[in-house]
Amino acid sequence: GGDSDDTTTTEAASETTEAPDETTTTEAASETTEAPGETTTTEAMGEFTAVATCFVTDDAGVDDRSFNASGWKGVNDALATGAVAADPIVLESTSAADYQPHVETCLAQGAEHIVTSGFKLADTTAQFAADNPDVQWTIIDFGSLGDNVTGLEYQTDEGAFAAGYLAAGMTQTGIVGTYGGVNIPTVSIFLDGYARGVAHYNEVKGADVRVIGWDVEAQDGAFTGTFDPADPQVRATCESQLDEGADIILPVGGAINLPCGTAIQDRGIEGALIGVDADAVEAMPGEYMDLWLTTILKGIDIQVQRSIEAHASGAPTGGSSSVGNLENGAIGLAPYHAWEDRVPAELAAEVEQILVDIAEGTIDWEKFVVGAG
């Protein structure tokens, strides 16, 4: 098993702290504007001094197929590039009581870089980051919490806005749908941007596309109450939107989009799904391949990877609290894949333009407030 390695970890840890490599500082850190899809960070294995890394999930667990999973993937990607020392530790929380001991365990195991996944870990991270200035920290879905903490926040609704516009242009029934796991900001930001994107389409085109599942005014909508895709409730939530005639649906939260895919397939309707986080065509099982119209990319994995790599290359990004968005490439829209031929060129161009406009700030719309911790 992976047990006899704790000695290696500590060794590696002591090695690196003893000999901090300060040569290759700037390069990797400044390269933050690439689109999250394109993984091009690796120059050469030799450039990194591998750092002992520890990953602490929030109570959703590492296999949530959402931000915890993405973050852990980022750690493993960094492992592949040699930025992370062998056998990074992952500590799964089952409740809020686990956060602190897990972080303490990370420190006790000699972690040099600790990734805390999710806004729920913010306070714990802040406290321990202050007490352990030598350790580098990355927190997902929260702003920076100190000089040694990289905050990864995402203005996801920028991508969702464009996706909403796209969906409004693509729907055949004039109705598009969206639902989430539970009404928490990291989820509802997608729903909000999506609904506003549809509204923008209606405004621009004088169309009357209806969104079901999100009420912009009430900031509330359709939720499954669970992130467990196997709960019959999830599929039923999707079906209830299909029943109303929605044909393009954006489900937000782990894998709760999969049952929706099966529902669309079972009903034999010309429907589509919009994925979230990582390009669904690559991340999700093959049987759903044709369903993904696009994915609203939220580059957690890549940002985590970069943050660790920056550390490993001696240029920690700590203290940065910049929000990932379209402009800096942490947010994006995935290729249309199977839908490439079906999306009219004109619409594709409009969406492209919207992405640019948002990035440049020329579209006027009310953005979702991120973090606000």
Partner 1 sequence: MSDQPDVPPDDVGDPGPSLMQRITGVGESARRALLLPSLALVLALLVGAVIIMLTDVDAWQLMGTDAGAAIGDMFEGVWVAYRELFAGAFGSVRGISETLFTATPLILAGLAVAIGFQAGLFNIGATGQMFVGGLFATWIALHVTLPSYLHIPLAILAAIVGGGLWGGLAGLLKAKTGAHEVITTIMLNFIAGFFVLWALKTSAFQDEGSNIPQSSPLPESVQLPTIFGDEFRVNIGLFIAIGAVFFIQWLLYRSTTGFEFRAVGSSPGASLYAGMNVAVLITLVMFVSGALSGVAGSTMTLGLPPYRVSESFPGTIGFDAIALALLGRSHPYGVLWSGLLFGALIAGGRTMQAAAGVSVDLVIVMQALIIMFIAAPELVRAVFRVEHGGEAADQVTRGWGA
Partner 2 sequence: MTATANPNDMIHVRATPEEKRSTIIGAVLIALGAYIFWQFGLGVEPGLQATFNLSLQTDTVQGLAWVVDPRQFSMIIGVIVAGLGGWRLTRRALQYTNLSLAISFLLLVMAFLAWAAAGSQFSLVGMLRSTVVLSVVVVFGALTGLMCERVGVVNIGIEGQLLAGAFAAVVLSSAFGTAAGVLGGVAVGALLGWLLAWLSIRFQVDQIIAGVVINFLALGLTSLMSARILSEIQTLNAPERIPAIRIPFLADIPVLGAMFFDHTYFVYGMFLLVFGIHYGLFYSRWGLRSRSVGEHPKAADTAGINVYWVRYRNVILGGMIAGFGGAFLGLAQVARFEENMTGGIGFIGLAAMIFGRWLPIGALGAGLVFGLSRAVQQKVAILNTGIPSEFLFMVPYIVTIIVVAGVVGRTRPPAADGIPYIKD
In the complex, the residues that contact partner 2 under the rule CB under 8 A are: 61, 63, 92, 177, 179, 182-183, 212-213, 215, 218, 220-223, 225-226, 228-237, 239-244, 255, 258-259, 262, 266-269, 285, 287
Q: Which does 241 bind (CB under 5 to 8 A by kind): partner 1, partner 2, Mg ion, none?
A: partner 2
Asked whether 306 and 317 are in contact (CB, 8 A), the reply is yes
Q: Token match 């930025």: residue?
A: 83
Q: Which is nearer to partner 2, 258 or 333 (CB)?
A: 258
- Separation CA 134–CA 112 (nearest Å): 8
Minimum distance from residue 373 beta carbon to partner 1 (Å): 7
Alpha carbons 225 and 340: distance in angstroms, whole number = 33
Which of Mg ion, partner 1, partner 2, none interacts with 335 (beta carbon under 5 to 8 A by kind)? none
The partner in contact with residue 124, picked from partner 2, Mg ion, partner 1, none with C-beta cut-offs of 5 to 8 angstroms by kind, is partner 1
Applying CB under 8 A, which residues contact partner 1? Answer: 1-4, 6, 59, 89, 91-92, 94-98, 100-102, 104-106, 109, 119-120, 123-124, 126-127, 182-185, 225, 369, 371-373
Q: Closest distance between partner 1 and the C-beta of residue 203, in Å?
A: 25
How many helices (H) and strands (E) in the chain?
Answer: 12, 14
CB of 101 to partner 2, least distance (A): 18
Nearest distance in Å: CB 350, partner 2: 27
Helix ranges (H only) for 214-299 are 232-243, 258-267, 280-283
CA distance 99 to 135: 17
165 contacts 343 by C-beta, under 8 angstroms: no
The nearer residue to partner 2, 72 or 142, going by C-beta atoms, is 72
184 interacts with, out of partner 1, Mg ion, partner 2, none, CB within 5 to 8 A per kind:
partner 1
Q: What's the closest the beta carbon of residue 339 comes to partner 1, in angstroms? A: 33
Q: Which does 11 bind (CB under 5 to 8 A by kind): partner 1, partner 2, Mg ion, none?
A: none
Question: How far apart, in whole angstroms, are the C-alpha atoms of residue 33 and residue 330?
Answer: 7
Displacement of CA 145 from its chain's centroid (Å): 19
Environment class of 43 (CB within 10 Å of its CB; exposed 0-12, middle 13-18, buried 19+): middle
Characterize 133-151 residue by residue with b for buried, 16 or more Cβ atoms within 10 angstroms of its Cβ, and e for exposed. eebbbbbbbbbbbbebbbb
**Per-residue string for binding with Mg ion, 235-264, x by CB under 5 A?**
------------------------------
Is the CB of 104 or the CB of 220 nearer to partner 2? 220
CA-based nearest residue to 300, from 285, 274, 279: 279
CA gap 147, 155 in Å, rounded:
22
Q: Which CB sits closer to Mg ion, 93 or 136? A: 93
Closer Cβ to Mg ion, 60 or 354, answer by number: 60
Minimum separation from the CB atom of position 76 to partner 2 (A): 12
Burial letters for 102-117: b for 16+ Cβ neighbours within 10 Å, e otherwise? bbeebbeebbbbbbbb
Considering CB distances under 5 to 8 angstroms, the limit depending on partner class, which of partner 1, Mg ion, partner 2, none binds residue 120? partner 1
In this structure, are residues 92 and 58 in contact, taking their beta carbons and an 8 Å threshold? no
3-state secondary structure 117-172: ECHHHHHHHHHHHHHCCCCEEEEECCCCCCCCEEEEEECCHHHHHHHHHHHHHHCC
**Rule CB under 5 A: which of 37-66 touch Mg ion?**
61
Q: Which is closer to Mg ion, CB of 64 or CB of 153?
A: 64
Q: Based on CB atoms, which residue is closest to partner 2, 185 or 335?
A: 185
Minimum gap (Å) between residue 69 Cβ and partner 2: 10
Nearer to partner 1, 39 or 127 (CB): 127
Give the separation between CA 22 and CA 17, rounded to whole angstroms. Answer: 12
Q: Which is nearer to partner 1, 45 or 182 (CB)?
A: 182
Contact residues toward Mg ion (CB under 5 A) are 61
